[in-house]
Chains A and B, each alone.
Chain A
Amino acid sequence: METLKKHYWKGAGMILLVYTMYMGFLGHVPRQPILNETVRNLYFHVTMWFSMIALLGVSVYHSIQYLRKSDPMHDLKSNAYVITGLVFATLGLLTGSIWAKFTWGDWWTNDPKLNSVAIGMLIYLAYGLVRSSLPDEQQKARISSVYNIFAFIIFMVLIWILPRMTDSLHPGNGGNPGFNSMDLDNRMRMVFYPAILGWMSLGFWYAQLRIRIRKIEVSLEEKEEA
């Protein structure tokens, strides 16, 4: 019973993802000019960004906790969530690139959201560099927590405020209607919301696996030193 309580969300997430896959590729979608069948990408592209923001948010939570309590476990978790967030950002960029090719006509368009995300990836790659350039474990944890919190807030400004002030091809920006007003009809909603939950649970599962691997590595290192 304990294990079921602890792990049921993984199974639920996977069921949701199977449902997303099935409905995403075979379910009914409204036909719209330009978008046509590519609107199915809504379940695979937009959900990646939701998951990424959730993962990075949790990572910031652990960074704050690290600064408050100096428990190395929080730093380990925070780092794992950042890496998972980056994986999802990469997937988001790839799915977005495919979508852009078939609707806007190019793999990469000069769009504030695309540029913002590219900058965001640079910010987080610099985070990796900070970590690797500091040899001392405690110092590494402290400095990278500080940088993570700072980077997250700048990143949020970048992706939430900036695209709203400039013209963007994305829905909901620069005078374009959002998906809500365009008929994201109820049948799509029935797939879209479960898809968000499904991808998020996949992300958190992935992050937890990373955390567990790191924990084992750390304990092995400690054993070797002893």
Chain B
Amino acid sequence: MFKMLQEIKVLFQKELQLEWRQKYAVHGLLLYLASTIFVCYLSFKARQESISPITWNALFWIILLFIAINAIGKSFTQESAQRGLFYYTLVKPESVIYSKILYNSLLMLGISLVGIIMYSWVMGNPVGNMTLYIIALVLGAVGFASTLSLVGGIAAQAENTSTLMAVLSFPIIIPLLLFLLKLSKSAMDGISISENWDEISVLASLDIIVVVLSGILFPYIWRH
């Protein structure tokens, strides 16, 4: 157990260093985020002056979803197959997937927070209960990261990775997205956290289920 934590730590540091050395990946994501938000601004807000809160919310989650698929889809393809084999001889597959989930969760969380600031800047911020909205963002980041990490691992096995990534992840992420939309809608209406305890606990348990399931299933994907 302790050995696995050690491995996760090392692999996590490796992910961070890789990202730090090739900054263009993160820069690319941020640029993607900024341009999508600005396109949304031009096509909604700039034309109609106002945008209904439901559209505001749905639009933001769709932007996040697309960015998540782009960001996490590459997490298994950016490293060569030979290096994958090298890791395979060194560490447990569980450590690989958990470190990826950890790293991708933090990445998604960062992107969501930067995103909500940029988005509120141009599109206005009709959120009533910001704390609850942030909770939804955190739960969303973890859920997206863990689901898409496993799906990314599956898609990386095939040749047409990017198509497969999109086709596999969209339907499988919808349940999570529906719960997130529901929770963030309550946040927009300014409903208190204590009244949304049901939604929060369902989302949290869904996150836990997906994380655990990824840990159990990933070793089978990885075994060549």
Could you list which residues of chain A lie within 8 angstroms of chain B, going by C-beta atoms? 67, 116, 119-120, 122-123, 126, 129-130, 133-134, 139, 142-143, 145-147, 149-151, 153-154, 157-158, 161-162, 165-166
Contact = CB atoms under 8 A, between A and B. Distances in A.
B170 A157 contact: no
B109 interface: no
B171 A123 contact: yes
Nearest to A129: B167
Which 9 A-B pairs give the minimum distances between C-beta atoms?
A122-B171, A123-B171, A158-B175, A146-B217, A133-B158, A119-B174, A67-B220, A126-B168, A126-B167
Interface residues of B, number: 27
B209 interface: yes
Contacts of A150: 150, 172, 213, 217
B175 A146 contact: no
A151 B202 contact: no
Nearest to A155: B175
Contacts of A165: 182, 198-199, 202
Contacts, number: 66
A143 B76 CA distance: 15
Contacts of A130: 154, 158, 164, 168
Contact of A162 (B158, B168, B179): B179
Contacts of A161: 202
B160 A133 contact: yes
Interface string B197-216: 01100100010010001000
Nearest to B158: A133
21 contacts: A119-B174, A122-B171, A123-B171, A123-B172, A126-B171, A129-B167, A130-B158, A130-B168, A142-B221, A142-B223, A143-B221, A145-B220, A146-B154, A146-B217, A146-B220, A146-B221, A147-B154, A149-B217, A154-B172, A162-B175, A165-B202
Given A129-B164, A133-B160, A162-B178, A143 B154 contact: yes
B123 to A, nearest CB: 26
Nearest to B224: A139
Nearest to B173: A154
